[in-house]
Amino acid sequence: MTSPKLYDFPESGNSYKVRLLINLLNLPVDIEKMDALAGACRTEDFKKKNVDQRLPLLELPDGTRIAESNAILHYLARGSDLASDDPVDEAQILRWMFFEQNQIESKVAEVRFIYHYVPIEKQNKPFLEELANRANRALQVMDDHLEKNDFFACNRFTIADIALYAYTHVAGEAGFELSHFPNIQTWIKRVEERERFIPFTER
Ligand SMILES: N[C@@H](CCC(=O)N[C@@H](CS)C(=O)NCC(=O)O)C(=O)O
C-alpha cells in the first residue's frame, strides 16, 4: 500500500468531511466503503483496526491508523492552506473543531440520526426536544460568529469550516429551520463555491 486508505461510511457526515477534504486538496487516498448500518465495523476483525469500531478511519501506508474525523482532517491538511502552523491560529481552528464535536455532531447530527433511523414509536420525545433546543443554541452561536466573520478561524477557509459544514448544511433534514440563521446560510453558499467542492451525495 503506497497511499493512505480511508475506511468510509458514505451516509456519514463524519466520513463526508474527510472525502470533502481529500477532494479539495486532490489527495491520493484510496477509499474503501463500508456499510456501518449493516454492522460492518462491529466485527472482531475491524475492532483490531479501531477499538472504537466506528468510521471514518484512516490507515497510513506504514499501518498506523487514525480514528476520529477531525483528527483525520488535522492530519491530512497539515502543510496546506486549510491548516496553520501558527500556534494561535491552529488553536482557533481546533477550538471550532472541538465545538463541532461537542455542539453540532452530538446534537444536530444526533437529532438527524434519530429522525432518519429510529422508528417514530421508539423516539423519546422529551429527550429529542431538549436535544433540539441545545442544537438551536449551537446554531445561534455559529450564526452570531458569522455575523462578523466570513469563516470560523484565521479569517479564511480552513478545516474548521469543513468540520462544521458537514452536519450544519443538512440540519434542515433534522427539522431545524436554517432560514432562522441567515449568516449560516450565506456561509454554506461560500463553502459550496470552493473550487473542487463535492456535495454530501457524491459518494
Ligand atoms: N466522533 C467520531 C464519530 C464517529 C461515528 O459516530 N461514526 C458513526 C457514523 S457517523 C459510525 O461509525 N457508526 C457505526 C456504528 O456505531 O456501528 C468522528 O468524528 O469520527
Rounded distance between C-alpha atoms, residue 88 and residue 109, angstroms: 29
Computed from CA positions of residues 110, 104, 95, 49, in that sequence, does the dihedral angle turn out positive or negative? positive
The ligand 1 atom nearest the CA atom of 12: 10
Residue nearest to atom 13 of ligand 1 (CA): 54
Q: What pLDDT is attached to residue 116?
A: 86
Three cell numbers at 98?
A: 472541538
The ligand 1 atom nearest the CA atom of 17: 19
165-179 mean pLDDT: 96
Q: What pLDDT is attached to residue 202?
A: 85
Map out the domains of the chain with their CATH numbers. Answer: 5-76 (3.40.30.10), 87-192 (1.20.1050.10)
Rounded distance between C-alpha atoms, residue 169 and residue 181, angstroms: 11
Q: How far is the CA of 140 from the centre of ligand 1 (A)?
A: 25
**Up-side HSE of residue 155: CA atoms within 13 Å toward CB?**
0
Cis-peptide, bond into residue 28, ω within 30° of zero: no
Pairing of strands 30-33, 57-59: unpaired
Q: How far is the CA of 52 from the centre of ligand 1 (A)?
A: 9
**Up-side HSE of residue 131: CA atoms within 13 Å toward CB?**
22
Q: How far is the CA of 147 from the centre of ligand 1 (A)?
A: 31
Residue 9 above 90 pLDDT? Answer: yes
Kindly report, residue by residue over 24-54, the tens digit of the pLDDT.
Answer: 999 999 999 999 999 999 999 999 999 999 9
Residue 1 above 90 pLDDT? Answer: no
DSSP 29: -
Kindly report, residue by residue over 58-93, the tens digit of the pLDDT.
Answer: 999 999 999 999 999 999 999 999 999 999 999 999
Residue nearest to atom 2 of ligand 1 (CA): 68
Three cell numbers at 169?
A: 448544511
Kindly report, residue by residue over 111-170, the tens digit of the pLDDT.
Answer: 999 988 899 999 999 999 999 999 999 999 999 999 999 999 999 999 999 999 999 999
Name which of 165, 150, 198 is nearest 69 in CA terms.
165
Residue 172 above 80 pLDDT? Answer: yes
Q: How far is the CA of 148 from the centre of ligand 1 (A)?
A: 32
DSSP 153: B
- Indicate the average pLDDT of the chain: 96
Q: Which helix (H) or strand (E) is 92 found in, with range?
A: helix 87-99
Rounded distance between C-alpha atoms, residue 159 and residue 167, angstroms: 14
Burial (CB < 10 A; 0-12, 13-18, 19+), residue 80, is middle
Lowest mean pLDDT among 4-8, 170-174, 178-182: 170-174
